[in-house]
Structure 1
Amino acid sequence: MLYIIFLFSCIACKKSWLEVVPMGQRVASNVNDYELLMNDPGYYLYAWSGGWQEPMFMGDEVAAEGAYFLNRSVIKERLFRWTDTIYVNSNETAPAITLHNTQMYSLNKVINEVMETDGGTIQQKSVLLAEARATRAWSNFNMVNYYCKPYVAATAGTDPGFPIIDKADVNTAVYPRGTLQQSYDFIINDYKEAIKNLPVKRTITTRMSRPAAEGLLGKVYLFMGKPAEALPYLQSALSQVSANGSPGLYNFNETLAPGGAFLPIDPVNGPRSPWQNPSDLKEALVSKVWNCGPYTSLGNGGLVLAPWAAALYGPGDLRLQLYTKRNPDNTPNPGGRLRKYGAQYARFGLQLPELYLLSAECKARTGDLTGAVADVETLRKNRMPAADATVPSIIAGNQNALIKFIIEERVREFAMEGSRWFDMRRISVDPVFTGISFKHTIYNANGSTTEYTLPLPNRLVLKFPRNIMEGSTDMTNNP
């Protein structure tokens, strides 16, 4: 049986944006071959690159210790400083878009061919088609949050989009960007078509299920500023999770209590939490994991929690156990700043904590403050003692204050894992957050500080890397 596994590289592309390099000798010929394509670990375990490395450095919840950050990686420094151009030379490849281009060929191959392949049932083929479409939508949504402006309904019809790739054709040399509205329409359609045929429960959590796709579609609508459209999908996803009995939340009150599963706390690596184990899928609707630790080229070495973000945690918040006040060489941090040492692997598929927070935010934005408080407190009761988990009444009864509290809860839950960048983009065009600005601070070894302010709005959007621009005959770069 022959099977082709294609790996794409954007390095030194001249004739096409995508350059396909065959890595095997087998050609997909029956439904089992397409099943193997979708079971490729490259879709769920980003061991060295392709995760949210770039957003991790651009989120304003991070700061940096100069002694451990500067002169380590020019790419990390450019991302942290929000420079106009991150990838200056043709040999500097952006990990996320490179992997996206890699996977588009295989996904489109499944989408365009699986229904006509030999063997299997119509149902099997329909599930594979749906899974590939949902995965394609997930990857495209990541890309519009890297390379397109935040969604604003009034301008989405003219703002540049992200190139839509819907064919497994390596000879295409023209990749028009279209409009942002077209990009979102494509993503939404993929999710809606996928939801029709995805199973309610998967035996393998690294594969797309119906509640995962519904939750992700709800996230898309919310990030478009359409909470009313988002909420039914999020509620449906939560209902199916409840009916399935999985995934479930870790209760830190138990796992970090004496004899708990996260103990003992290692002085170097922190608690034995799921953030240390990429195979821990307990909280995942669909598991996609990337290595955010200090031992990769774009790892978190030198990053600390910005003081404003550290101040969001109450003293009883057990998520603080994921942080240390010691530097990477185990010396005390002179400013007492927190380094996230309890997270080697970050999640960026869809986790149950995020599903609760997405639902809470939609309810708050549509006026259901009681429901919003219930959702956010469900998460908080599993992250701290019950007495600390209650949303203060002065916040719970005020719509805008509650929305801000939920966004802050996203920082408390996902800090230093790349998620904040996506929130920064959308709240920058949100009337609730009018006038917001973002800054980064480097704490130099001599005790001084260096600050950078994010240039709005241009640097909310990355420029396409040079090698990508050289590989397309019809690509317009961002300003």
Structure 2
Amino acid sequence: MKLHKYVTVATITFLSVVLCGCKKSFLEIVPKGNIVAVTYDDYDKLMNGSNFYVLGTGGAGIYQPAALMGAEVSAEQYAYNFLGTGYPGARALFQWEANIFPETDPPTDADASKPQFMSVLLKNIYILNKIINDVSGSAGGTEQQKLRLRSEAMAQRAFTNFQLVNYFTKPYNPASASTDPGFPVIKTSDITVKTFDRGTVQQSYDFMISDLTQAIANLPVDPVMKTRVSRGAAEAILGKIYLFMGRYNDAITMLNRAFADMASMKTPPKLYDYNIELAPGGSFLPIDPLYGPNSPFTNASDVKESMWAVFTYAGTYNGFQFPTNFLTIPSKTIALFSPNDWRLKFYTDIQPDMTTPIPGGRLQRNNLKYIRIGVELPDLILLKAEAEARNGNISAALADLNILRSNRIVPAEATVPASAQVDNASLVRFIIEERIREFAAEGHHWFDMRRLSTDPIFSGQPAAQHFLYTDDTNATTYTLTPNRLTLRLPPSYVNQNPGMVNNP
């Protein structure tokens, strides 16, 4: 698809204000080759920018930090101390350290464990605010077209804030959300603003909900393209936010609406049947010894399972030295898979030298170049199943689960085991395990860990641990503390906002 290079004046200076301080030299710069958005068509092209559907550049994606922090992964000593600018930060994330951002001002590191993954999102918020605030006064286009575009930008802004909130604020807790520090609610595209108030977690969530509820009515059932927001996609994101808040009745309402709108799409997303695609003659074959099976995880243009295609670079063993190269999945994660789960084909037990086995029988995801983080049908199915289970509709939850599992596991092993159907809590725990099976090493589990930390169903469990293996069984252990469920803000951000309180 064609990538548009339209950006508004001061996109770069916005990052300078937020991350590096407000300096006159930055405010005077209009980057060479950039175009000022004037017409409706200019603003529409802004929404086509690759910055909105490829979140991260230069091999660094916004879910790499989450992938490094998820409790379903382990690390291998033989790859842990590789040289490269990304590795100190990657190790700090894996070890759940308090300070992962550089003290330099301005920060110069350009990898996923430094402020780049944050600044990518902040830049997008600036552009989205520009569209939201100014498109109605642009030349050309109908009022309905401008309203649709503004609504797209609002839905995109809510999605962007959802990523930031799930890194930099405490997990949503209704008992403390009104006092827990939030992430700044940024509504303007004014580069002269020098300070930002964190507000509260409740205000952050209220802002996202407001954006989405206003946007949904004006969004089309069929998106302009798969990388643009549709009505169903916005409903799905709102349903996910409600689920993260523990508002399960509201979540199932929105998720059901998303499925209804998906059914009305001209080209709705469809699940790949791994029983076909990984069997002889299947489209995922042959399995490359280094890159693994061909699949949507290796092909950015494959959007069959996407309602809204947004992805980020992953960075596993794929011939390049990205900062997640040392990650494996340990025996406790492997044990979650049944023996004939086709998803195990996405892992290898051989090191990148193509000869040496990974110690201890651990496995590494070897076909993961792109992590799908928009509205993907597998995630949508599992979110709906969880909301149904939490609302006591076990039969509906099982029906959803069986749709996904029948496309991922050989038929004889696809049925949800009876032990998971005992009660709501058992089924919810099984659904979370299914999410690990579907998304292991992709970062999604980190966000699940955060929200489940306040969930009574998962209370009383031991603290999560990471193991850095030196051989088959010996490992250094790192234990997650409650404070480390939330990343601290970069020093440069806090220093340029007097009075802003950082996370513990």
TM-score (norm 2): 0.91
C-alpha contact 1:174 1:474 (8 A) present in aligned 2: no
Among 193, 201, 210, the alignment partner of 1:172 is 193
Alpha-carbon RMSD across the aligned residues, in angstroms, is: 1.8
For 2:367, the aligned partner's letter is G
Q: Classify the secondary structure of the residue corresponding to 1:285.
A: strand
Among 154, 164, 170, the alignment partner of 1:143 is 164
Question: What does residue 8 of structure 2 align with?
Answer: 4
C-alpha contact 1:319 1:383 (8 A) present in aligned 2: yes
For 2:480, the aligned partner's letter is L
Q: After superposition, what is the alpha-carbon deviation per residue over 1:355-411, rounded to whole angstroms, capped at 9, x for unaligned?
A: 000000000000000000100111111101222111112312321110000001100
Among 362, 376, 381, the alignment partner of 2:406 is 381
Q: 2 CA distance for matches of 1:42 and 1:3?
A: 10
- Measured after TM superposition, the shift of residue 12 of structure 1 is 6.3
Question: What does residue 189 of structure 1 align with?
Answer: 210
More displaced 10-residue stretch of structure 1: 179-188 or 194-203: 194-203
Q: 2 CA distance for matches of 1:214 and 1:27?
A: 32
| 1:43 aligned onto 2:52 | yes
Question: What does residue 323 of structure 1 align with?
Answer: 347
Question: What does residue 22 of structure 2 align with?
Answer: 15
Question: What does residue 76 of structure 1 align with?
Answer: 90
For 1:454, the aligned partner's letter is L
- Measured after TM superposition, the shift of residue 203 of structure 1 is 4.0
Question: What does residue 252 of structure 1 align with?
Answer: 274
C-alpha contact 2:347 2:366 (8 A) present in aligned 1: yes
C-alpha contact 1:53 1:298 (8 A) present in aligned 2: no
Sequence identity percentage: 43
C-alpha contact 1:61 1:305 (8 A) present in aligned 2: yes
Relative to structure 1, is the Cα distance of residues 31 and 55 closer, same or farther in structure 2, using a 3 angstrom cutoff?
same
Q: Classify the secondary structure of the residue corresponding to 2:336.
A: coil
For 1:14, the aligned partner's letter is G
Q: 2 CA distance for matches of 1:152 and 1:82?
A: 22
Question: What does residue 284 of structure 1 align with?
Answer: 306
More displaced 10-residue stretch of structure 1: 294-303 or 138-147: 294-303
Q: Classify the secondary structure of the residue corresponding to 1:432.
A: helix
Q: After superposition, what is the alpha-carbon deviation per residue over 1:439-463, rounded to whole angstroms, capped at 9, x for unaligned?
A: 10001159631010101x1111100
Q: 1 CA distance for matches of 2:244 and 2:425?
A: 17
Q: Classify the secondary structure of the residue corresponding to 1:452.
A: strand
C-alpha contact 1:65 1:444 (8 A) present in aligned 2: yes
Q: Classify the secondary structure of the residue corresponding to 2:190.
A: coil
Relative to structure 1, is the Cα distance of residues 284 and 446 closer, same or farther in structure 2, using a 3 angstrom cutoff?
closer
Q: 1 CA distance for matches of 2:261 and 2:334?
A: 34
Q: 1 CA distance for matches of 2:472 and 2:423?
A: 44
More displaced 10-residue stretch of structure 1: 390-399 or 251-260: 390-399
Relative to structure 1, is the Cα distance of residues 355 and 103 closer, same or farther in structure 2, using a 3 angstrom cutoff?
same
- Measured after TM superposition, the shift of residue 470 of structure 1 is 2.3
- Measured after TM superposition, the shift of residue 25 of structure 1 is 3.8
Q: 2 CA distance for matches of 1:181 and 1:296?
A: 41
More displaced 10-residue stretch of structure 1: 265-274 or 300-309: 300-309
Q: 2 CA distance for matches of 1:187 and 1:334?
A: 45
Question: What does residue 134 of structure 1 align with?
Answer: 155
Q: 2 CA distance for matches of 1:452 and 1:192?
A: 41
- Measured after TM superposition, the shift of residue 239 of structure 1 is 1.7
Among 229, 234, 248, the alignment partner of 2:250 is 229
For 2:342, the aligned partner's letter is L
Question: What does residue 483 of structure 2 align with?
Answer: 458
For 1:333, the aligned partner's letter is I
More displaced 10-residue stretch of structure 1: 435-444 or 362-371: 435-444
Q: 1 CA distance for matches of 2:294 and 2:321?
A: 24
- Measured after TM superposition, the shift of residue 101 of structure 1 is 1.4
For 2:333, the aligned partner's letter is A
How many positions carry a matched residue from both structures? 475
C-alpha contact 1:284 1:352 (8 A) present in aligned 2: yes
Relative to structure 1, is the Cα distance of residues 117 and 125 closer, same or farther in structure 2, using a 3 angstrom cutoff?
same
Q: Classify the secondary structure of the residue corresponding to 2:360.
A: coil
For 2:388, the aligned partner's letter is K
Question: What does residue 152 of structure 1 align with?
Answer: 173
Relative to structure 1, is the Cα distance of residues 135 and 300 closer, same or farther in structure 2, using a 3 angstrom cutoff?
same
C-alpha contact 2:90 2:324 (8 A) present in aligned 1: no
Question: What does residue 410 of structure 1 align with?
Answer: 435
Q: Which runs of 4+ in 1 moved over 6 A?
A: none
Q: Classify the secondary structure of the residue corresponding to 2:262.
A: helix
Q: 2 CA distance for matches of 1:13 and 1:351?
A: 35
For 1:227, the aligned partner's letter is Y
Q: 1 CA distance for matches of 2:139 and 2:116?
A: 35
Q: Classify the secondary structure of the residue corresponding to 2:467.
A: strand
Question: What does residue 393 of structure 1 align with?
Answer: 418
- Measured after TM superposition, the shift of residue 96 of structure 1 is 2.3
Q: 2 CA distance for matches of 1:441 and 1:416?
A: 15
C-alpha contact 1:369 1:397 (8 A) present in aligned 2: no
Q: Structure 2: where are the runs of 5+ without partners?
A: 1-5
Q: How do residues 250-399 of structure 1 correspond to structure 2 at under 5 angstroms?
A: 250-294=272-316, 298-330=322-354, 331-399=356-424
- Measured after TM superposition, the shift of residue 14 of structure 1 is 2.3
- Measured after TM superposition, the shift of residue 329 of structure 1 is 2.0
- Measured after TM superposition, the shift of residue 49 of structure 1 is 2.7
Q: 2 CA distance for matches of 1:49 and 1:280?
A: 20
For 1:253, the aligned partner's letter is N
Question: What does residue 3 of structure 2 align with?
Answer: none
Q: 1 CA distance for matches of 2:370 and 2:229?
A: 20
Relative to structure 1, is the Cα distance of residues 50 and 337 closer, same or farther in structure 2, using a 3 angstrom cutoff?
closer
Q: 2 CA distance for matches of 1:3 and 1:459?
A: 35
For 1:9, the aligned partner's letter is L
Q: 2 CA distance for matches of 1:59 and 1:25?
A: 39
Q: Structure 1: where are the runs of 5+ without partners?
A: none
Q: After superposition, what is the alpha-carbon deviation per residue over 1:79-121, rounded to whole angstroms, capped at 9, x for unaligned?
A: 0000011113222542221111111111000000111111001
| 1:209 aligned onto 2:208 | no
C-alpha contact 2:60 2:314 (8 A) present in aligned 1: no
Q: 2 CA distance for matches of 1:296 and 1:39?
A: 28
For 1:15, the aligned partner's letter is C
- Measured after TM superposition, the shift of residue 302 of structure 1 is 1.1
More displaced 10-residue stretch of structure 1: 161-170 or 288-297: 288-297
Q: Classify the secondary structure of the residue corresponding to 1:423.
A: helix
Question: What does residue 145 of structure 2 align with?
Answer: 124
C-alpha contact 2:62 2:118 (8 A) present in aligned 1: no
Q: Classify the secondary structure of the residue corresponding to 1:268.
A: coil
For 2:95, the aligned partner's letter is R
C-alpha contact 1:173 1:473 (8 A) present in aligned 2: no
- Measured after TM superposition, the shift of residue 3 of structure 1 is 6.5
